[in-house]
């Protein structure tokens, strides 16, 4: 039976969350909206449409949504060739693959943005598949990306662990019946991640790698 390690990307494997905060803030400003960086940070991990709805509410002028999303995409795209992996990200994926795990990404990113993230991770040789925003009807916190990742891995929920950095990741994993591990590298508080369902919390990919033999993943290997 396949065993799957499912990973979010932004803030989990690549150091992008604060770039997203800055570029969303500017996209909202250009459209005439004042949205706090704190509120934007808490919304990172949602797909673009859901993030705009979450921050501006149902009473917003929806005709602006496409403009705001395009503004963010253009601003964030200026960083595409400079994205940096988080410490230990590539080594963690390779170590898990060598231990027999199928590695699948589950992310709200798609298209060129996803391609840039994969270049930053530099681990395509061990990534079995990607459940992206292009592949599902609803993004996190809906379970669709995690369920799609399970399909790509060919693994049941009970033989999988999801690693993410936001409350949306934790909620999506819980709805899909997958145990979740959280990283603090996205800037979300430990208490919030645990309240959303994280079974364990680590500083970043390097910290998870250094504690891999005592982690939830190792426990699943022994069952």
Whether 170 contacts 180, CB under 8 Å: yes
Q: Residue 48 and residue 216: Cα distance in Å, rounded?
A: 31
Same structural domain, 62 and 90:
no
CA distance 219 to 223: 7
Same-domain pairing of 118 and 147: yes
Residues in the chain: 223
Per-residue pLDDT at 133: 76
Res 135: pLDDT? 87
Range of the domain at 110: 4-16+84-221
The predicted pLDDT at position 62 comes to: 96
Residues 126, 149 within the same domain: yes
Q: What is the pLDDT of residue 3?
A: 97
Which residues on neighbouring strands pair with residue 85, listed in sequence order? 14
Same domain, 189 and 96: yes
| Final residue belonging to a domain, choices 78, 109, 129 | 78
pLDDT digits (tens, 9 = 90+) for 16-46: 999 999 999 999 999 999 999 999 999 999 9
Last residue of a domain, one of 56, 78, 100: 78
Regions in the chain scoring below 50 on pLDDT: none
| Residues 21 and 104 placed together within one structural domain of the fold | no
Task: Assess whether 21 and 60 both reside in one domain.
Answer: yes
pLDDT on residue 52: 97
pTM summary value: 0.96
How many domains is the chain built from?
2
Q: Are residues 107 and 182 in the same domain?
A: yes
Among residues 78, 102, 121, the one where a domain terminates is 78
What's the CA gap between 50 and 119, in Å, rounded? 26
Residue 118: the pLDDT is 97
- Signed CA dihedral, 88, 89, 90, 91: sign only: positive
């Amino acid at each position: 039976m396949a065993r799957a390690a499912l990973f979010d990307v932004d803030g989990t494997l690549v150091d992008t969350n604060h770039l997203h905060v800055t570029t969303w803030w500017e996209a909202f400003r250009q459209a005439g909206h004042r949205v706090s960086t704190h509120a934007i940070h808490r919304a990172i991990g949602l797909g673009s449409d859901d993030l705009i709805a979450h921050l501006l509410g149902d009473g917003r002028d929806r005709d602006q949504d496409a403009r705001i999303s395009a503004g963010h995409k253009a601003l964030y795209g200026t960083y595409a060739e400079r994205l940096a992996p988080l410490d230990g990200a590539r080594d963690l994926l390779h170590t898990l693959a060598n231990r027999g795990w199928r590695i699948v990404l589950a992310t709200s990113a798609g298209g060129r943005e996803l391609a840039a993230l994969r270049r930053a991770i530099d681990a395509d040789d061990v990534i079995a598949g990607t459940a992206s925003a292009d592949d599902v009807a609803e993004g996190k916190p809906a379970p669709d990306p995690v369920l799609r990742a399970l399909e790509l891995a060919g693994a049941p929920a009970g033989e999988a662990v999801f690693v993410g950095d936001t409350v949306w990741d934790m909620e999506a994993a819980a709805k899909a019946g997958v145990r979740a591990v959280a990283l603090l590298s996205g800037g979300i508080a430990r208490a919030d991640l645990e309240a959303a369902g994280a079974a364990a919390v680590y500083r970043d990919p390097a910290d998870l790698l250094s504690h891999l033999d005592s982690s939830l993943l190792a426990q699943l290997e022994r069952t």
